[in-house]
Amino acid sequence: MWTWFHRLASPPSFYRLAERLAPWLGLGAVVLLAFGWFYGLVYAPADYQQKDAFRIIYVHVPAAAVSLSLYSAMAIAGVIVVIWRIKLAECVVVSIAPVGASMTAIALVTGMLWGKPMWGAYWVWDARLTSELVLLFLYLGVIGLHEAFDDARAAARACSLLAIVGSINVPIVKFSVEWWNSLHQGSTIFKMGKASISPDMALPLYAALAGTFLFCAYAVLRRIQNELLWRERGTSWAKEHLSAVTVH
Amino acid sequence: MTKRQKRMVAVAGLILGLGVAAALGFTAFRKNMMYFYTPTDLVGHSLPANAKVRVGGLVVTGSVQRGDDLDVAFTLADCEHSVPVRYHGILPDLFREGQGIVATGRIDAQGDFVADEVLAKHDENYMPPELQEALTTADGKHSCAPFKSVMGS
């Protein structure tokens, strides 16, 4: 089992696996997002209290959910980097950060656009909003730290440590609306018991969620491929691969 | 121990230490993490004069009185207590009787809460209007559960 695992984690074989996997993830993302957003924006009924304004949920909730999942994945990869020093895991850490930062920024901006008409304010310093902003800074910190090193491996190790330390923020974001009074409402779908959203509205939300996850998986895989090629540019497999690519 | 095992212990210790530090910190600063107090907190405790506070609760059904200009008076309640609120200004679109709101302001000499900002706090339920009408009675639209007392616990 371990030999299989080590073979998978070797740069050329993972590169080939990603090459086969990525188009399917991308295709799945396009199909699910097209269905979810079209259904959500056109066919789903308007909400009883927020009317049509609630429809921004189809962008906001997937982006916010993915921002937390990606951070968790980055922190887990960080643990693998620090303990086992696996090169592939180093690429995972540095590849996730920009995608996660983008999703966090989307969640924050769509949240502000939603907050103004519904709550009456773009921004309040409640626990949920503040901790999500901290999440953005953690992602930006990882990106900045990575740029600050010349040696790729040392950079990845430093980034991994920051990712691990920052992972304490993930449960804080998740449970902030339960632990403390906040202006942000509680969870609608990611909670124990039944989701408090009617099926007609929930179906496109789940589709948009799955689509956003697939898109991020696609984006991260492609970044990992790039990172692997760059790091291994001197090796024969990378040279072979690059010579096969025609430059237009 | 091999080097790898040492690193495992170090990472485990780091995560454990962070968790404990965060848990202790948030227990100590629990009240400071709260975005608003509830009417129950205001009833049982005296505030420093002119202290600015945020209060969250439901707008009591039948309590909204609109005066001249943009004056409005209403009662704000959590599950146990209520507090009279006066406000002059534009209310959010979602403001209505039975709606959750968070008001920022001061307690005046008569014990009324004079708000200078009112924000709507909607709940996490999403449904079409027909379903909502079939589900709820006239005044049972929103739950007071999100308005947890800060001082009480």
Cα–Cα distance measured from residue A95 to residue A146, given in angstroms and rounded to the nearest whole number:
10
**Interface mutation target, options B3, B126, B135, B153, chain A, most CBs of A under 10 Å:** B126
CB contact under 8 A, A118 and B94: yes
* DSSP per residue, A14-75: HHHHHHHHHHHHHHHHHHHHHHHHHIIIIISPPBTTTBGGGGGHHHHHHHHHHHHHHHHHHH
Cα–Cα distance between B36 and B52 in angstroms, integer? 11
Q: Are B93 and A46 a contacting pair at CB < 8 A?
A: no
Do residue B21 and residue B89 come from a single domain?
no
Whether B137 has a pLDDT exceeding 70, the answer reads: no
Query: Domain for residue B149, yes or no?
Result: no
- Convert chain B into a string of H (helix), E (strand) and C (coil): CCHHHHHHHHHHHHHHHHHHHHHHHHHHCHHHHCCCECHHHHHHCCCCCCCCEEEEEEECCCCCEECCCCEEEEEEECCCCEEEEEEECCCCCCCCCCCEEEEEEEECCCCCEEEEEEEECCCCCECCHHHHHHHCCCCCCCCCCCCCCCCCC
CB contact under 8 A, A127 and B33: yes
CB-CB under 8 Å, B129 with A120:
no
Beta-carbon separation of B128 and A198 below 8 A? yes
Query: Mutate which of B8, B15, B35 to disrupt the A interface (most A C-beta within 10 Å)?
Result: B35
Residue A143 forms contact with B (CB below 8 Å): no
**Do B118 and B87 share a domain, yes or no?**
yes
Residue A77 — very low, low, confident or very high, per pLDDT cuts 50/70/90? very high
Please answer whether residues B72 and B95 qualify as being in contact, where contact means their C-beta atoms are separated by less than 8 angstroms: no
Distance of residue B123 Cα from the nearest chain A Cα, in angstroms: 5
C-alpha count within 13 angstroms, C-beta hemisphere, residue A139: 25
Tokens 């540095």 belong to residue: A94
Same domain assignment for residues B80 and B118 = yes
Confidence of residue A7 (pLDDT cuts 50, 70, 90): confident
Write the ipTM: 0.90
- The mean per-residue pLDDT over the stretch A96-124 comes to 97
Nearest to A65, CA basis, from A104, A97, A39: A104
Residues B28 and B7 in one domain: yes
Per residue in B112-121, pLDDT (tens digit) is 899 999 999 9
How close, in Å, is residue B40 to chain A by CA atoms? 14
| A186 at interface of B, judged by CB pairs closer than 8 A | yes
> From A197, which residue of chain B is nearest by alpha-carbon distance?
B126
Whether B43 and B86 map to the same domain: the answer is yes
The answer, for A47 touching chain B at a CB cutoff of 8 Å, is yes
* pLDDT above 70: residue B141: no
Q: What residues make up the domain containing B121?
A: 36-134
B152 lies in a domain? no
Domain count, chain B: 2
B49, B114: one domain: yes
Examine the pLDDT at B138 and tell me if it is beyond 50: no
Beta carbons of B22 and A168 less than 8 Å apart = yes
Domains of chain A, residue spans: 20-181+195-247
Across A84-98, A102-116, B116-130, least confident range: B116-130
Q: B144 lies in a domain?
A: no
Q: Is the pLDDT of residue B136 over 80?
A: no
* Residue B51 covered by a domain: yes
* B117 neighbourhood in chain A, CB within 8 Å: 120-121
Q: Do B89 and B19 lie in a common domain?
A: no
Whether B147 is covered by a domain: the verdict is no
Do B111 and B50 lie in a common domain?
yes
Do A48 and B121 lie within an 8 Å CB cutoff? no
- Residue B142 lies inside a defined structural domain of this protein: no
Distance CA A30, CA A25 (A): 9
User: Which one is predicted more confidently, B153 or A2?
Assistant: A2
Residues B42-99 pLDDT 10s: 887 777 778 899 999 999 999 999 998 899 999 999 988 999 999 999 999 999 998 9
In this structure, the answer to whether residues B44 and B97 fall within a common structural domain is: yes
pLDDT of residue A248: 59
A242 has a pLDDT exceeding 90:
no
Q: What is the CATH number of the domain that holds B96?
A: 2.40.50.140
The reply to whether B57 and B77 lie within a common domain is yes
Contact B125 A196 (CB under 8 A): yes
Measure in Å the smallest separation between the Cα of A53 and chain B Cα atoms: 11
- Give the A:B interface size as CB pairs under 8 Å: 117
Contact A87, A11 (CB under 8 A): yes
Q: Which pLDDT band, with edges at 50, 70 and 90, does B32 fall under? A: confident
B36 and chain A: CB distance < 8 Å anywhere? Answer: yes
- Quick one: pLDDT at residue B152? 61
B15 in the same domain as B51: no
Q: Residues 6 or more apart from A129 whose CB is under 8 A from it?
A: A108, A111, A123, A182, A183, A184
Assign B35 a pLDDT band (cuts: 50, 70, 90).
very high
B120 and B102 in a common domain: yes
